[in-house]
Amino acid sequence: MKASDLFVKALENEGVEYIFGVPGEENLDFLQSPDFRTGTP
């Protein structure tokens, strides 16, 4: 498990439904986390 996976789980535990940002090299691990779900509101 990576830190990005833990971060996604922490956001879910806090009830965060949406995050905003520009995908790029700096947050690629976060976007590739198995628990990260993409979509449009």
Q: Summarize pLDDT for 1-41 with one digit per residue, the tens.
A: 888 888 888 988 999 988 888 888 888 888 888 777 776 55
pLDDT at 17: 86
Output the pTM of the full model. Answer: 0.67
pLDDT confidence of residue 4? 85
Phi and psi, residue 21, nearest 5° = 175, 175
Positive/negative CA dihedral, 27, 2, 7, 36: positive
Ordered alpha helix ranges (H), 1-41: 3-13, 28-31
